[in-house]
């Protein structure tokens, strides 16, 4: 998910407000584990979830497991 945070720490005293580069900092978080992720490392799923690489891989593992459990047994 995208979040805009105010990270100004008494930059200019007084702060420049909206033109302060630290007031509207865009941060990206994984929708699953909640970790902060660089935007280029964030993956959007078909369900519009934004996941980090780890969680994405976990999803794929789970899907694979489900397919295996469902059993494509054609012997
Ligand atoms: Zn500021
Ligand atoms: Zn994650």
CA–CA gap between residue 32 and residue 27 (Å, rounded)? 15
Residues with CB under 5 A from ligand 2 (ion): 30, 32-33, 52, 55
Report the separation in Å between the CA atom of 36 and the middle of ligand 2, taken as the mean of its atom positions. 8
Report the separation in Å between the CA atom of 50 and the middle of ligand 1, taken as the mean of its atom positions. 29
Determine the pLDDT at residue 42.
95
Report the separation in Å between the CA atom of 18 and the middle of ligand 2, taken as the mean of its atom positions. 31
Higher pLDDT, 66 or 45: 45
Q: What predicted TM-score, i.e. pTM, was given to this entire model? A: 0.68
42-51: long-range pairs with CB below 8 Å, 24+: 50/1, 50/2
Q: How confident is the model at residue 73 (pLDDT cuts 50, 70, 90)?
A: low
């Amino acid at each position: 998910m995208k979040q805009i945070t105010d990270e100004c720490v008494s930059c200019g005293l007084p702060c420049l407000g909206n033109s302060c580069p630290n007031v509207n900092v865009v941060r990206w978080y994984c929708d699953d584990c909640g970790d902060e992720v660089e935007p280029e490392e964030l993956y959007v799923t078909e369900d519009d979830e934004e996941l980090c690489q780890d969680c994405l891989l976990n999803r794929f593992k789970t899907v694979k497991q489900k397919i295996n459990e469902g059993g494509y047994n054609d012997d």
